[in-house]
Amino acid sequence: MSNINILGIESSCDDTSAAVIQNGVLKSNLIANQKIHEKYGGVIPEIASREHQKNIIPVVDQAIKEADIKKEDLSAVAFTQGPGLKGSLLVGNSFAKGLSLGLKIPLIQVNHIHGHILSSFIIEKEKETIPNFPFICLVVSGGHTQFFYVKNYFKIELIGTTLDDAAGETYDKAAKMLGLEYPGGPIIDNLAKKGNCNKFKFTTPNVKNFDFSFSGIKTNILYFINKEKKQNKNFVDENIHDLCSSIQETINKYLIMKLEKAMKEYKTNEVCVTGGVAANSNLRSHLKRICETNKYKLHLPPIKFCTDNAAMIANIGYHKFLNKKFTNQETKAKSRQSIQEI
Ligand code: KG4
Ligand code: ZN
C-alpha cells in the first residue's frame, strides 16, 4: 500500500510553517519566524503578509525535502483557514489551493484552534502516549484563551473563553509596560526566574464559570507601575525580576484556578494545555503540581508544538484525510472562525 503523505501549511499570524506527516507520523516541521516585528513591539499585519510571501516556497520545499519525499508523493495539502490575520491567512490559502490544483490532490481546510487543541496527538515516533477522550483542553496563546471539552477528534465543545484580551496578549502588553521587547511572554518567564512572586499583588476579576477577563489585570499593572514611577523613576529597573514574577504568578494562578474548576465540573481526569503560553515554565510547574495532587493525567505538548506550527495543521489534515473531509477551490480565508467550523 502506498504511503499517506500530508503537507500542512500554517500562516495565520507571523510564523510561516510547513510540515509533513506520513502515515500519522511527523516527518518534518519547518518554521520561519518573522523577527522583523520585534522592533515594532507587535505584529504588523501588512509586513507579516509580505514576509509569508517571501518564506512560503522555501519553507514548503524544505519540509518536503526533510520528509524525504517528492511533491508528487503528497496525498493532500492541509492549510490554516482561520482564525488569524486575513492577509497572512490568504498567503497559505492561495498557495495550498495552487498546489492542490497543480498536483491534483485533495485540499483540506483546518481551523487553527482545532490544530492547537489536538497538538498532543502529534506523533514523532510510533507508540507515543496520546490523550484519551474525553478531556479538557486549555488553549492559551497570543490571540486565544479558551477552554474546550474534547469528546473526539471532531466533537469539541467550547466551555469558556476570555471576554477581552488573551493571556498571551496580557503577557505581551505587561512586558511592553516594563519596557521589554516583543513577544514579552518568554522574556517575562526568563526574568521571573530570579524574582519573588509574592512581592506585588495584582487582582484578578471575578468572571462567571470558565470565562476569563484580562483587561482589568492589565489596567491594574499599568496604574501600579505609573504610581510607583512617580515616587521613583527607576522603580521598574530596580524591581524588574519581582515585577515579572508577580505578574506571571497572577496570570498563571488565574488560569490554574479556572482549570481546576473545569476538571471538577466535567468529571474528567485528563487535561491538555497548549498554545504559546503553555511554554511558560512557571505555568508548567503549577500544572504538574495540581495534576499530581488530583491524579489528573497531564498532556503538555513539547514547546515546539505549543507555539504556532504546521505539524498541528498536518495532524488535523491527516485525520480529516482518513475521514475524507475535503474542501474545494471556493474555500475562503476566515479571520474569525469558531470551533463549530471544523
Ligand atoms: O500560540 P502562539 O505561538 O501564537 C498565537 O496563536 O497567538 O502564542 C504566542 C503567545 C505570545 O503572546 C507569547 O508572548 C506567548 O505566546 N508566549 C509565552 C511564552 N512563550 C510564548 N508566554 C509566557 N511564557 C512563555 N514562555
Ligand atoms: Zn496559535
pLDDT score at 186? 96
Ligand 1 pocket check for 82: Cβ under 6 Å: no
Bond from prior residue into 106 cis (ω within 30 degrees of 0): no
pLDDT at 14 over 90: no
The residue whose CA has the least distance to atom 24 of ligand 1 is 280
pLDDT tens digits along 153-201: 999 999 999 999 999 999 999 999 999 998 999 999 999 999 999 999 9
DSSP for 168-193 reads: HHHHHHHHHHTTPPSSHHHHHHHHHT
Q: Taking residues 255-282, what's their average pLDDT? A: 96
**pTM, entire model:** 0.94
Please name the amino acid found at residue 92: G
**HEC-encoded secondary structure of 69-123:** CCHHHCCEEEEEEECCCHHHHHHHHHHHHHHHHHHCCCEEEEEHHHHHHCHHHCE
Top mutation candidate among 171, 305, 312 for ligand 1, by most atoms within 8 Å of CB: 171
Domains of the chain: 5-122+305-322 (3.30.420.40), 135-300 (3.30.420.40)
Of 133, 135, 134, 157, the residue nearest 146 (C-alpha) = 157
Ligand 1 pocket check for 145: Cβ under 6 Å: no
Protein residues within 5 Å, CB atom, of ion ligand 2: 141, 308
Cα–Cα distance for residue pair 78/10, rounded to 1 Å = 9
Q: Taking residues 23-46, what's their average pLDDT? A: 85
pLDDT tens digits along 106-125: 999 999 999 999 999 999 98
Cα–Cα distance for residue pair 136/211, rounded to 1 Å = 14
pLDDT score at 292? 97
